[in-house]
Amino acid sequence: MESVIAEKYAVALLQVAKDQKTVDAISTEMQTIQKTVESNPSLKTTLEHPRVKAVEKLDALRRGLKEKLSGTMENFLMLLILKKRIKYLNAVAEHFERLCYEMKGKAVARVLSATPLSAQQKEALTAKLSQMFGTSVELHEEVKPGLIGGIMIYLGDQRMDGSVLGQLERMKQRLLKVEIE
């Protein structure tokens, strides 16, 4: 449900941005807002609290950001707040980013690794994914030590798990299915 709602709002925002020829600016602004809200738990709580008035939520968001919001983004955020959809902000931002890349003929691959990838590994992975999916791919890397080793890749609605943690989990599931006589 969240994904469907988020995609509708992302599509609407992209259409407005296209009409105003501000897609790149809105994309940058959306990423900044997303990072600010995700890194500030008290701001996120304020935005999602049902008893905080809409104007107060928008003011809290303005204070949390270091730069001024565009009129388009202010209107969009107020729409999310008034329709009680601000809790989907992160999902909307992710869908919006994906739509922007699709519009440019690119794809975004979210790569999780236990340790940072070297420049050569990133280059080889980008080339391989671009070949596999037939489109230009941009990597967004996140370091997750809990994976122990290997990588996980999310591209569109596909997930490729080559992590040690994933292998251990699959092994555990196979062992649980074995019946001992």
105-177 is classed in which CATH architecture? 3-Layer(aba) Sandwich (3.40)
- Alpha-helical (H) ranges within the chain are 2-20, 23-39, 41-48, 54-64, 71-82, 89-103, 119-133, 164-177
Residue 125: CB atoms within 10 A of its CB come to: 19
d(C-alpha 108, C-alpha 126), whole Å: 10
Q: Are 106 and 76 in contact (CB under 8 A)?
A: no
CATH 3.40.30 domain residues, the chain: 105-177
pLDDT tens profile 59-110: 999 998 888 899 999 999 999 999 999 999 999 999 999 899 889 889 989 9
- Over range 154-160, report the average pLDDT: 87
Q: Are 47 and 78 in contact (CB under 8 A)?
A: no
**CB-based burial of residue 55 (10 Å sphere; 0-12 exposed, 13-18 middle, 19+ buried)?**
exposed
Q: What pTM, to 2 d.p., does this model score?
A: 0.73
Q: What is the pLDDT of residue 128?
A: 95
The mean-pLDDT minimum among 4-13, 101-110, 161-170 falls in 101-110
2-100 is classed in which CATH architecture? Orthogonal Bundle (1.10)
CATH 1.10.520.20 domain residues, the chain: 2-100
Q: What is the pLDDT of residue 67?
A: 84
